[in-house]
Amino acid sequence: MSNVTEYFGCNVFNEETMKSLLPKNVYKALLNTQRMGTSLDADVADVIAASMKDWAVSKGATHYTHWFHPLTGYSAEKHDSFISPTNDGKVIMEFSGKELIKGEPDASSFPSGGLRATFEARGYTAWDPTSPAFIKDDTLYIPTAFCSYTGEILDKKTPLLRSMEVLSEQAVRILKLFGSQATRVITTVGPEQEYFLVDKKLYDQRKDLIFTGRTLFGAKAPRGQELDDHYYGNIKDRVHNYMKDLDEELWKLGIYAKTEHNEVAPAQHELAPIFTTSNVAADQNALTMEIMKKLALKHGLVCLLHEKPFAGVNGSGKHNNWSMNTNLGENLLDPGDSPKDNIQFLTFLIAIIKAVDEYADLLRLSVASASNDHRLGANEAPPAIISIFLGSEIQQILDALETGRMIKTGDSQEFVIGVEALPNFPKDNTDRNRTSPFAFTGNKFEFRSLGSADTISCTNTIINTIVANSLREFADKLEGSSNFKKDLNDLLMETLKKHKRVIFNGNGYDASWVEEAARRGLPNYISTVDAMPHYTDEKNVTLFESFRVYSRTELQARTDALLETYSRVINIEALTMLDMAKKQILPAGIRYSAALAKAVNEKMSAGIDASLEKKLASRVSELCNAIDTAVSDLDSLVIAACDKKGILECARFYRDKVFASMQSLRAVADELEMAVPEDLWPFPTYGDLMFRV
Ligand code: ADP
Ligand code: MG
pLDDT in tens, 164-198: 999 999 999 999 999 999 999 999 999 999 999 99
- Give 277 Cα–ligand 2 centroid separation in angstroms: 18
* Cβ–ligand 1 contact at 321 (below 6 Å): yes
50 confidence band (pLDDT: 50, 70, 90): very high
CB 400 within 8 A of CB 406: yes
> b/e per residue, 516-544, with b = 16+ CB within 10 A?
bbeebebebbebbbbbbbbbbeeebbebb
CB 674 within 8 A of CB 219: yes
Instruction: Return the CATH superfamily for domain 4-155.
Output: Glutamine synthetase, N-terminal domain (3.10.20.70)
User: Which of 275, 325, 326 is the best mutation target for the ligand 1 pocket, counting ligand atoms within 8 Å of the beta carbon and taking the most?
Assistant: 275
Cα-flanking dihedrals φ and ψ of residue 39, to 5°?
-85, 160
- Give 260 Cα–ligand 2 centroid separation in angstroms: 12
- Give 388 Cα–ligand 2 centroid separation in angstroms: 15
75 confidence band (pLDDT: 50, 70, 90): confident
Q: Which amino acid is at 398?
A: L
108 confidence band (pLDDT: 50, 70, 90): low
Indicate the CATH number for domain 163-550: 3.30.590.10
Residue 430 has pLDDT above 70, yes or no: no
User: Would you identify the CATH topology of the domain 565-691?
Assistant: Four Helix Bundle (Hemerythrin (Met), subunit A) (1.20.120)
Do the first three CATH levels of 4-155 and 565-691 match, i.e. the same topology? no
Cα dist from 149 to 103, 121, 153, 160, 553, whole Å: 12, 9, 9, 19, 15
* Cβ–ligand 1 contact at 263 (below 6 Å): no
Read off the pLDDT of residues 473-505 as tens digits, 9 standing for 90 and up. 999 999 999 999 889 989 999 999 999 999 999
339 confidence band (pLDDT: 50, 70, 90): low
Residue 411 has pLDDT above 70, yes or no: no
395 confidence band (pLDDT: 50, 70, 90): confident
417 confidence band (pLDDT: 50, 70, 90): very low
Q: What is the pLDDT of residue 120?
A: 56
Q: What is the pLDDT of residue 418?
A: 38
CA-to-CA distance for 290 and 258, rounded, in angstroms?
A: 18
Instruction: Decide which of 414 and 604 is more confident.
Output: 604
Beta strand 185-199 with 318-326 is: antiparallel
569 confidence band (pLDDT: 50, 70, 90): very high
* Cβ–ligand 1 contact at 432 (below 6 Å): no
Angle subtended by helix axes 538-546 and 457-478, to nearest 10:
80
pTM beyond cutoff 0.95: no
Burial class (CB in 10 A: 0-12, 13-18, 19+), 178: middle
Q: What is the pLDDT of residue 423?
A: 42
Beta strand 438-440 with 388-389 is: parallel
**What is the arithmetic mean of pLDDT over 582-611?**
97
DSSP letters spanning 154-208: -BSHHHHHHHHHHHHHHHHHHHHHTT-----EEEEEEEEEEEEEEEHHHHTT-HH
Domain ranges of the chain: 4-155, 163-550, 565-691
Cα dist from 686 to 206, 222, 438, 667, whole Å: 11, 9, 33, 15
Q: What is the pLDDT of residue 420?
A: 33
Of 576, 589, 583, 590, the C-alpha closest to 662 is: 576
116 confidence band (pLDDT: 50, 70, 90): low
User: By mean pLDDT, which of 160-174, 223-237, 404-418 is the weakest?
Assistant: 404-418
Of 389, 390, 382, the C-alpha closest to 364 is: 382
Q: What is the pLDDT of residue 118?
A: 46
264 confidence band (pLDDT: 50, 70, 90): confident
Instruction: Decide which of 223 and 563 is more confident.
Output: 563
**Residue 191 alpha carbon, nearest atom of ligand 1:** 14
294 confidence band (pLDDT: 50, 70, 90): very high
